[in-house]
Structure 1
């Protein structure tokens, strides 16, 4: 991070996580998905959840990157691919259950979810869920995650 960056703004990390993988922290859920370079720049352009076809193309492309990162033993990339697949699911489900994707009213109260406010987004979410599960259950991912935690803890 740069010295003049406001930590509340969520500044980009000043780290190349491919060159320094031990600096990568797994975090919770989708943390770091828009900050961890060079993976953000490689994965974000692939990510789309507008409908089932877009989700299928996006999830397949992200999974292909995951396989490339796995072959190169790049755990930060593997985990970031997992996060983009997870984020595809969560974002699409937000639109699937809340009209316009808005979970909260203007006054901050949570809106009542609808089953299924947007069936196209639900179909997109299910595509991402399948690929996300493939990564989570991949033995190579689990082993790489355990090795990464051992090195960085």
Structure 2
């Protein structure tokens, strides 16, 4: 199968809604800034500025997830999952590291603090709840298995 890799440039030249067979699930948050049309639909909803913004963002992304699920659009479902995961990981980085800086200028990793930013921790936990809902959703699990069986 001809699945684009992250080294294919800033954007893939594929509409994954029209060509779902080209969508590779990948690991973690892979492709969140490249896979269209989902990036264009989800990125404007994504924010972890503070707890309230994160809550609104997670709810909006989850609503998109439900829309993709109703449409049987697995790439959309998976991309919504990735944006929820990314909301959690980015907010948690700021929660543990002052200014979100995990590495020093020399490249060595800083020691995480418990908790450098309580508001970002609350934001992360809001994303985590929705991310978990998606991961545990039977419809998501079944669609993921079908996608793998058909396309990977």
Fold-level similarity (TM above 0.5): yes
- TM-score, normalised to structure 2's length? 0.94
Aligned to 1:140: 139
Q: Which residues of 2 match residues 5-84 of structure 1 at below 5 A?
A: 8=7, 10-84=9-83
Q: CA deviation at 1:10?
A: 3.7
Residue 136 of structure 1 and its aligned partner are, at CA, apart by: 0.2
Deviation at 1:8, TM superposition (A): 5.0
Residues 82-114 of structure 1, C-alpha deviations (whole Å, 9 max, x = no match): 000000000000000000000001111111110
Aligned mates of 1:9, 1:74 — CA distance in 2: 23
Q: 1: distance between equivalents of 2:29 and 2:92? A: 15
Distance 1:40 1:95, change over 3 A: same
What is the 5 A alignment of 1:60-139?
A: 60-139=59-138
CA drift of 1:11 comes to 2.2
Instruction: Tell me how far 1:46 sits from its aligned partner.
Output: 0.2
**Residue 9 of structure 1, CA deviation:** 7.6
Unpaired runs of 5+ in structure 2? 1-5
The DSSP-based 3-state class of the residue aligned with 1:121 is: helix
- The list of structure 1 runs, each at least 4 consecutive aligned residues, that deviate by more than 2 angstroms after superposition, is 7-11
Deviations 1:53-86 (A, max 9, x none): 0011000000000000000000000000000000
User: Normalising to structure 1: TM-score of the pair?
Assistant: 0.94
Measure the CA separation in 2 of the matches of 1:109 and 1:9. 29
Whole-angstrom distance in 2 between the partners of 1:15 and 1:85: 23
| Distance verdict in 2 for CA 1:45–1:116, change over 3 Å | same
Counterpart-to-counterpart distance in 1, 2:51 and 2:68:
25
